[in-house]
Amino acid sequence: MSDKIEHIDLSALAELKEVMEEEFDTLLETFLDDSAERVVQIREAAKEGDSEALSRAAHSFKGSCTNIGVPVLAELCKDAEQKGRKGELEGIDDLVASIDQAFYEVTKLLKEQLS
């Protein structure tokens, strides 16, 4: 399904696997652990209306998403970073919900990649 292909970039992951070798699993687990933390940070920043914290967490999350190869989540983080930077937190709850959802999908798909 095209939906799944957009959530994770399989060719990027294949390249990472080649680079990381036996550390590939550790990398994915680290990414998922860190990401869970980032999602919480984003959610709380949104709830408290702290646009700077939101922007910072989303920026950092975006970077690691790009490196791991999860484009949909990276794109959503970019949106959140921009909203935070501009201080326009309107509709941020919907965006946070989308990030939650996408992270859920990514977690599921990445765990399938673990050996």
Residue 62 touches another protein, criterion: CB under 8 A: yes
Determine the Cα–Cα distance for residues 71 and 8; give it in Å rounded to an integer: 7
Residue 67 near residue 51, CB atoms below 8 Å: no
Residue 59 touches another protein, criterion: CB under 8 A: yes
- The correct pick among 13, 39, 42, 69 for binding another protein (CB under 8 A) is 69
Q: What is the smallest separation between the CB atom of 60 and another protein, expressed in angstroms?
A: 6
Residue 65 near residue 81, CB atoms below 8 Å: no
How many C-beta neighbours within 10 Å does residue 93 have? 12
- Tokens 């949106």: give the residue: 79
- The correct pick among 4, 48, 67, 104 for binding another protein (CB under 8 A) is 67
- The correct pick among 14, 23, 52, 111 for binding another protein (CB under 8 A) is 23
Residue whose CB is less far from another protein, 22 or 94: 22
Residue 53 touches another protein, criterion: CB under 8 A: no
Residue 107 touches another protein, criterion: CB under 8 A: no
Give me 90's structure tokens.
């309107």
Instruction: Name the amino acid, one letter, at 34.
Output: D
Residue whose CB is less far from another protein, 11 or 94: 11
Q: DSSP character for 21?
A: G
